[in-house]
Amino acid sequence: MSDIQQQREAHWRKTRSLMIIHLSIWFIFSFVVHWFANNLNSISFLDFPLGYYMAAQGSLFAFVIQLFVFVKQQDNIDREFGMAEEDDK
């Protein structure tokens, strides 16, 4: 197998692992937290029941933060394997 092919496979392995991790986190904040909303309502956060807060605001914050973290981590993987998109500045 050529060196370039090995590099591409290593890049894809790391990218796939990162994607699986972030999809798992997304699943937790999209479904699991809301399945247990009634149980979470016994805890309060900012004077709101935690289940309500996670449905109204918390999951959205988690998604936005996760998006920025994913982009940064993927950029690091791309740079590690020499596949980054360079700025044209």
Domain of 45, in residue numbers: 17-80
Q: How confident is the model at residue 89 (pLDDT cuts 50, 70, 90)?
A: very low
Distance of CA 22 to the CA centre of its chain: 3
Q: For 1-89, where are the alpha helices, taking DSSP H only?
A: 3-27, 33-35, 37-40, 50-53, 59-80
Residue 43 lies in a domain: yes
The larger pLDDT score, comparing residue 51 to residue 18, is at 18
**By C-alpha distance, which of 30, 52, 28, 31 is closest to 40?**
52
Q: How confident is the model at residue 20 (pLDDT cuts 50, 70, 90)?
A: very high
Q: How many CA atoms lie within 13 A of 31 on its CB side?
A: 5
Q: What is the pLDDT of residues 29-83, one digit of tens each?
A: 888 888 888 888 888 878 888 888 878 788 889 999 999 999 999 999 999 998 8
Residue 2 lies in a domain: no
Residue 9 lies in a domain: no
**By C-alpha distance, which of 53, 49, 55, 16 is closest to 32?**
55
What's the total number of domains in the chain?
Answer: 1
Whether the pLDDT of residue 2 is over 90: the answer is no
For the whole model, what pTM was predicted? 0.79
Residue 75 lies in a domain: yes
C-alpha distances out from residue 85 to 75, 79, 88, Å:
9, 8, 9
Residue 5 lies in a domain: no
Whether the pLDDT of residue 24 is over 60: the answer is yes
Residue 38 lies in a domain: yes
